[in-house]
Structures are given as C-alpha cells and as structure tokens.
C-alpha cells in the first residue's frame, strides 16, 4: 500500500508533467497497475463482494465521466493517464480496505505519513538545505520530502487530525499516548516551518468542530445538542466576522503577508486572479469540461497575470472539477461529498465508531478545496484520504488501533 501510494504520488510530480524520466514513470505505473490487478484477482478468488454506497459510487462516476471530456480536451494522453491513475488508486483502496479491514489500511497510510514527517524533520535538523525550497517569489520554505511546502503542510495537518481524533482516544498505555503527543508536536512544528497559512487556519477550524461532533455522540437530549451546536456556530461566526473587521486595515493586512503587500492577503496570494481566469475558460464549455489536468495547458494560454508564475491549475477543487468535468461532474462530486457527510453524521449519532475522524477529514478536504486542488484533479494526499472516507462503510475492526 505504501509503495503504491508513494509511487502514485511521484507520477503527479513536475517530472511527470515535463515528460522527463519517462521510462521510470512508465515502469512505476506498470508496477502499480500490476499490484492493483493482483489484489483484484485475489479478491475475486475469495469471492469477495465489494460493498460501496451511493456516495462512493458517485465519486467513481465523476472519474469515469472525466474520460469523455478528456478524449476531446487539449491533452488527451495526460487526461487519460491521470483519470486511470485516480480510478486505480480508488479501486485499490476499496479492495484493500474490504480485504484486510478498513482500520489496517487507514493506519498503514497514517504510519507512512508519520515516517515521512519524522525523517523530513530529522533531515531538516541535520541538513536544512536538503528539505528547503525556493519559490518563484524568492522565499525559502520547508518542503520536507513532499516536493512543495503546501503539500507538506497538508500532510502535517492530516497527521495532526488523525493523531488527535483517532489514535489518542483509542490508545490506553501511557507510552502510546506519549508517542501520539510527540508525533503531533513534530507534525505541528513541520506545519509551522512550511509557513502554509491556509493549512494552519483550516487545521484550527477543523479541530474546533470536534467538541460539537463529540456532543452529537453524547446521550443528552436532541434539543440540548441542537441548542449547543447553534450557540457554538454563532460564537464561531461572530469571532470570524470580528477578526475580519479588525484586519480590514491595509497596514494590518500587510503585516500578515509574506511580501509585506496587503494585496497578497486580499487576493489570497493571487488565487482570485487564477479563479477569474478559470471561470472564463469554464464559460466557454460549462457542461462537459475539458478533461483532467487540462488547466495546465489552457490556463497558461489565457493567463494575463504575473509573468514569473503561471498557474498549473485553478487552485480550487470545485472550479477544477468544473473545468475538467463540467457541470455534470461537479454535481456528482458535490453530491458524493454532501451525501457522505450526512451519512457519517447520522452514523455518529447511532454508535461510537470511526465516523468522527472521517467527518473531520472530510471537512478539512472540503474546506481545503476552496484554495487548492485538494481531493480532486490529480493524485494528492488529500485525494487518497478522500478515497478512504468514501470507502468507509461504518464497520470497525476492534483489534486494530494498538
């Protein structure tokens, strides 16, 4: 599972986009497909009955639909390779979780990320230049072994969320709890080093909903739960409004930016201009789109912003889905996310299982999608966890989690 995950991640790297190391990339693809194929045959030999709900099936329909616009899009080969890779990872996770138990696969991915975070942080302490990256604006930021600071920031957040909402409540030994706390601290330090403000803010927002989710699992009356959740949301919304009001001053906004320019904050580091460009392309073909990763071909052609930096994608999961699969694909994607969220909340009220951590991950992925590709458009850590959430059926393996 770990080999397949890291191999697949490498296929979405800049080297793959630029066409270099083609032989290695093809071999890694073949190795991944062979592994997934053998796993599928193993499942069939055991007469495994794959069970997926309508929300998981809806995400699969989005991916299958993306083949059609990809064929007629600006880059059919890249679109098809990306689509097949995303379907392969999704099918792989569905098979693996139902063959070996959801918890075992979920924990394996987590352990893999923890190992990478620890090794990255140790490398930073020993040889900082190895895991630092100079961005287009000249600043140096911590990237670890994820290739980009934003990606490393997202991995750190996923590790923090899973550590605090899944592992810490489940482990009983003091040594195990201490280990989880240490992992959380190292992940937090890594997140701070990446200086990924989006991931930092969304991590805090996501963790802030955990008390409300735990309240839904309590035995208090439904009316008291509803009132408490309403109060929490009202207080939280008021705090956000007041914070934004205080930050309205241009001098204050400039102090929060990396460049000292208030416009960096008001444009969300240039994202609003990227979104406007993406919307202009979507308007020309709103129904079926252009295929996955079409943005890396189309956006540079119509980009009128900075000549130093050209956006490879729309920096928004929902706009990217609209650009790649049109309105048809976007509706399926939104249906799968909302439907899964409602199902997880209902399951959370019935019994104690993994629904809480699945809701937390889904909230983070959905919010992150406003600013990044997140769980759709190419192979990312967020996409792998989205596949995990969608493949979760509500069952729990009790001997796992030790």
Find where tokens 């990256």 sit: 133
pLDDT band at 398 (very low <50, low <70, confident <90, very high): very low
Best-predicted range by mean pLDDT (7-16, 182-191, 260-269, 385-394): 182-191
Cβ(394)–Cβ(357) under 8 Å?
Answer: no
Find where tokens 């992150």 sit: 368
% of the chain exceeding 70 in pLDDT: 68
| Residue 400 covered by a domain | no
| Residue 10 covered by a domain | yes
| Residue 398 covered by a domain | no
| Residue 250 covered by a domain | yes
CB atoms under 10 Å from CB of 298, counted, come to: 21
Judged against a pLDDT cut of 80, whether residue 351 lies above it is answered with: no
d(C-alpha 277, C-alpha 203), whole Å? 28
Cβ(325)–Cβ(129) under 8 Å?
Answer: no
pLDDT of 165-210, one tens digit each? Answer: 998 888 878 878 899 999 999 999 999 999 888 899 889 888 888 8
Looking at per-residue pLDDT, the higher value among 244 and 182 belongs to 182
Q: For 140, which DSSP code? A: E
38-to-2, 6, 41, 90, 152 alpha-carbon distances in Å: 16, 18, 5, 15, 31
Judged against a pLDDT cut of 90, whether residue 158 lies above it is answered with: yes
Q: Work out the average pLDDT over 308-322.
A: 81
Q: What is the per-residue pLDDT for 16?
A: 42
Q: Which of 150-154, 237-241, 330-334, 361-365 has the lowest mean pLDDT?
A: 237-241
Q: Work out the average pLDDT over 365-385.
A: 85
| Residue 396 covered by a domain | no
Looking at per-residue pLDDT, the higher value among 39 and 133 belongs to 133
pLDDT band at 145 (very low <50, low <70, confident <90, very high): confident
Q: Which of 13-27, 90-104, 110-124 has the lowest mean pLDDT?
A: 13-27
Domain count, the chain: 1
pLDDT of 66-78, one tens digit each? Answer: 989 988 888 887 7
| Residue 59 covered by a domain | yes
Q: Is 65 exposed, middle or buried (0-12, 13-18, 19+ CB in 10 A)?
A: buried
Task: Give the domain extent around 300.
Answer: 2-391
Q: What is the per-residue pLDDT for 182?
A: 94
**What integer best gives the mean pLDDT of the chain?**
78
% of the chain exceeding 90 in pLDDT: 20
Task: Please give the structure tokens belonging to residue 45.
Answer: 């030999």
């Amino acid at each position: 599972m770990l080999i397949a995950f890291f191999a697949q991640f490498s296929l979405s790297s800049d080297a793959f986009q630029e066409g270099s190391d083609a032989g290695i990339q093809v071999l890694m693809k073949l190795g991944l497909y062979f592994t997934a194929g053998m796993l599928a045959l193993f499942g069939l030999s055991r007469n495994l009955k794959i069970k997926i709900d309508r929300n998981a099936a809806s995400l699969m329909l989005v991916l299958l639909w993306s083949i059609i616009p990809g064929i007629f899009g600006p880059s059919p080969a890249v679109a098809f390779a990306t689509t097949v890779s995303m379907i392969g990872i999704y099918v792989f996770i569905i098979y693996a979780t139902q063959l070996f138990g959801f918890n075992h696969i979920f924990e394996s991915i987590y352990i893999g990320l923890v190992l990478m975070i620890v090794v990255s942080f140790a490398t930073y302490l020993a040889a900082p230049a190895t895991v630092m990256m100079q961005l287009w604006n000249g600043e140096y930021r911590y990237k670890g072994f994820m290739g980009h600071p934003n990606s490393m920031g997202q991995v750190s957040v996923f590790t923090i969320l899973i550590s605090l909402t899944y592992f810490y409540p489940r482990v009983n030994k003091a040594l195990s709890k201490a280990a989880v706390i240490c992992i959380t601290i190292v992940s937090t330090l890594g997140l701070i080093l990446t200086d990924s403000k989006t991931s930092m803010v969304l991590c805090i927002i996501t963790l802030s909903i955990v008390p409300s989710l735990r309240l839904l699992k309590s035995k208090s009356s439904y009316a008291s739960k509803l009132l408490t959740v309403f109060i929490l949301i009202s207080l939280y919304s008021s705090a956000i409004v007041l914070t934004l009001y205080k930050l309205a001053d241009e001098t204050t906004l400039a102090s929060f930016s990396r460049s000292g320019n208030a416009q960096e904050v008001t444009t969300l580091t240039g994202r609003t201009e990227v979104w406007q460009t993406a919307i202009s392309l979507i308007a020309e073909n709103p129904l079926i789109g252009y295929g996955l990763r079409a943005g890396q071909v189309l956006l540079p052609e119509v980009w009128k912003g900075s000549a130093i930096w050209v956006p490879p994608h729309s920096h928004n999961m929902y706009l990217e889905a609209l650009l790649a699969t049109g309105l048809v694909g976007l509706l399926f994607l939104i249906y799968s996310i909302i439907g899964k969220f409602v199902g997880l909340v209902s399951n959370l009220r019935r019994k104690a299982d993994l629904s809480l951590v699945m809701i937390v991950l889904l909230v983070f992925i959905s919010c992150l999608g406003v600013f990044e590709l997140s769980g759709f458009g190419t192979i990312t850590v967020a996409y792998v966890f989205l596949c995990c959430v969608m493949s979760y059926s509500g069952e729990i393996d009790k001997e796992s989690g030790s």
